[in-house]
């Protein structure tokens, strides 16, 4: 019986020749990551187990959720992990002004690579599957254990195989594709399974598309999402990391719980309506409704704060103005992306259009700061979750969309088709 990509990575890190779904294993860890919310909770648990981290090169701390600090508590949280990082001599600690959103900066800095086993105290750690790694979110006790021992137990997941074919249309990106997929299978459709993306359609996806899709695997309940390492992924790895990496491929007789075929050419720009990422509606369905007027737009996050996302949004906003009733926050994922936006003139486009162009931070994604919603307000956001109260008041409404759909909506003042951007000015 063959193994999936994920199962092969886990078997190798457990020192086993073969594993199968449901098996409990102890696996060695290549990266252990926490942020300014989860890190402070893990530190006291860590000190109950050890005095020193198992490897100062492999433990990564990134304050990004409530940074720049919004209040005394968030300042104390950041201080906690700042002092821990200094005491432990951690190589990878990224502070405000030199940092980025964790799931954007780790690939950018070459900290994560193909074939690795990675845990993070953040549910969207599954992002790194875009590089052919097994990466998953865990709780703070598990992070403390990982920091202390360099190992963690896992239940080997089963898998769903997604066979991607065709080429997405001009205004269809990874965000539209993953919302479409979650809409098909449901928010628990891949519960504790590996979402393994295959097929010749992958060649038509950029790395940023893949990061976005792997990032939102958790929104279908998945343990992880993972892509094969093709020429484009290897090009990314060679550009960003000096680490040695290993490429794993699924066996031809690998066992999948389900096979889902996705024709990328048939996917339309797609929006996830409140209050679930799986509440997917195509832009055509949206246009058949009465206009959904909005109060705010957020373009950024660990899902869509990368350079390609900035360029896509700027292409829509260039030479246009944000609707006077709409507030727009643009938040690049890292300092490098922020600087590139300035270099390419994108910052000017955003500011001239009437957007707030902000420092890298998770900020409004989880109702932290830099764009918290009031009761009754509606927001189109490129973030990954639209649960009740996710971005502020429990009576606010969040619509998840791609950067292009978000930008088009910012101009129109209602959820708009990016193919018709500017028509409603």
Quickly count: other Cβ atoms within 10 Å of residue 415's Cβ.
24
Question: 225 and 82 in one domain?
Answer: yes
CA 33 – CA 407 distance, rounded (Å): 32
Q: Is residue 72 part of a domain?
A: yes
CATH of the domain at 25: 3.30.499.10
Are 200 and 348 members of one domain? Answer: no
Query: What span, in angstroms and rounded, lies between the C-alpha atoms of 84 and 297?
Result: 36
**Within this chain, do residues 259 and 278 fall inside the same structural domain, yes or no?**
no
Q: Given strand 270-272, what is the order of strands in its sheet?
A: 280-282, 270-272, 397-400, 378-381, 296-300, 327-331, 356-357
Written as one string, the DSSP assignment of 159-197 is EEEEEEES---TT--HHHHHHHHHHHH-TTTTTTEEEEE
* Structural domains counted in the chain: 2
Do residue 258 and residue 276 come from a single domain?
no
> Do 350 and 229 fall into the same domain?
no
Instruction: Supply the pLDDT for residue 423.
Output: 55
Give, for 238, the enclosing helix (H) or strand (E): helix 231-240
Same domain flag for 221 and 314: no
**425 falls within a domain:** no
Full domain range(s) for residue 282: 270-420
Look up the pTM and report it. Answer: 0.94
Please check whether residues 189 and 335 belong to one and the same domain: no
Would residue 248 count as lying in a domain?
Answer: no
Do 137 and 121 form a contact (C-beta atoms < 8 A)?
A: yes
Region for 218 from its dihedrals, namely left if φ exceeds 0, alpha if ψ lies in -120 to 50, beta otherwise: alpha
The answer to whether residue 319 is domain-embedded is yes
Q: What is the pLDDT of residue 425?
A: 46
Per-residue pLDDT tens listing for the chain (425 residues): 899 999 999 999 999 999 999 999 999 999 999 999 999 999 999 999 999 999 999 999 999 888 888 899 989 999 999 999 999 999 999 988 888 999 999 999 999 999 999 999 999 999 999 999 999 999 999 999 999 999 999 999 999 999 999 999 999 999 999 999 999 999 999 999 999 999 999 999 999 999 999 999 999 999 999 999 999 999 999 999 999 999 999 999 999 999 999 999 999 999 999 999 999 999 999 999 999 999 999 999 999 999 999 999 999 999 999 999 999 999 999 999 999 999 999 999 999 999 999 999 888 888 888 889 999 999 999 999 998 889 889 999 999 999 999 999 999 999 999 988 755 44
Q: How far apart are the C-alpha atoms of 88 and 261, rounded to whole Å?
A: 47
Parallel, antiparallel, or unpaired: how do β-strands 31-35 and 59-62 relate? parallel
């Amino acid at each position: 019986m063959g193994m999936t990509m994920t199962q092969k990575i886990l078997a190798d890190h457990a020192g086993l020749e073969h594993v199968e779904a449901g098996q409990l294993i102890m696996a060695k860890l290549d990266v252990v990551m926490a942020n300014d919310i989860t890190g402070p909770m893990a530190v006291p648990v860590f000190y109950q187990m050890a005095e020193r981290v198992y490897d100062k090169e492999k433990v990564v701390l990134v304050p990004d959720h409530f940074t720049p600090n919004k209040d005394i508590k968030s300042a104390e949280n950041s201080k906690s992990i700042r002092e821990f990082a200094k005491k432990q001599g951690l190589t990878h600690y990224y502070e405000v002004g030199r940092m980025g959103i964790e799931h954007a900066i780790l690939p950018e800095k070459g900290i994560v690579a193909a074939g690795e086993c990675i845990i993070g105290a953040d549910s969207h750690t599954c992002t790194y599957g875009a590089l052919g790694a097994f990466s998953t979110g865990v709780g703070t006790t598990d992070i403390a254990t990982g920091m202390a021992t360099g190992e963690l137990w896992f239940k080997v997941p089963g898998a769903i195989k997604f066979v991607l074919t065709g080429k997405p249309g001009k205004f269809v990106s990874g965000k539209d594709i993953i919302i479409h997929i979650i809409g098909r299978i449901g928010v628990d459709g891949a519960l504790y399974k590996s979402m393994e993306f295959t097929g010749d359609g992958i060649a038509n996806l950029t790395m940023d598309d893949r990061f976005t899709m792997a990032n939102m695997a958790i929104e279908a309940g998945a343990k992880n999402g993972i892509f094969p390492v093709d020429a484009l992924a290897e090009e990314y790895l060679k550009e960003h990391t000096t680490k040695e990496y290993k490429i794993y491929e699924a066996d031809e007789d690998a066992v999948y719980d389900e096979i889902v075929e996705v024709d990328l050419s048939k996917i339309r720009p797609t929006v996830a309506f409140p209050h679930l990422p799986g509440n997917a509606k195509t832009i055509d369905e949206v246009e058949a409704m009465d206009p959904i007027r909005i109060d705010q737009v957020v373009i950024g996050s660990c899902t869509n704060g990368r350079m390609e996302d900035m360029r896509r949004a700027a292409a829509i906003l260039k030479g246009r103005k944000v609707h006077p009733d709409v507030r727009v926050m643009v938040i690049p994922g890292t300092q490098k992306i922020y600087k590139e936006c300035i270099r390419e003139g994108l910052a000017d486009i955003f500011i001239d259009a009437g957007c707030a162009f902000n420092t890298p931070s998770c900020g409004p994604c989880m109702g932290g700061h830099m764009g918290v919603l009031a009761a009754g307000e509606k927001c189109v956001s490129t973030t990954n979750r639209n649960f009740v109260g996710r971005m502020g008041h429990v009576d606010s409404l969040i619509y998840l969309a791609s950067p292009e759909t978000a930008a088009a909506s910012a101009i129109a003042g209602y959820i708009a088709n990016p193919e018709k951007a500017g028509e409603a000015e």
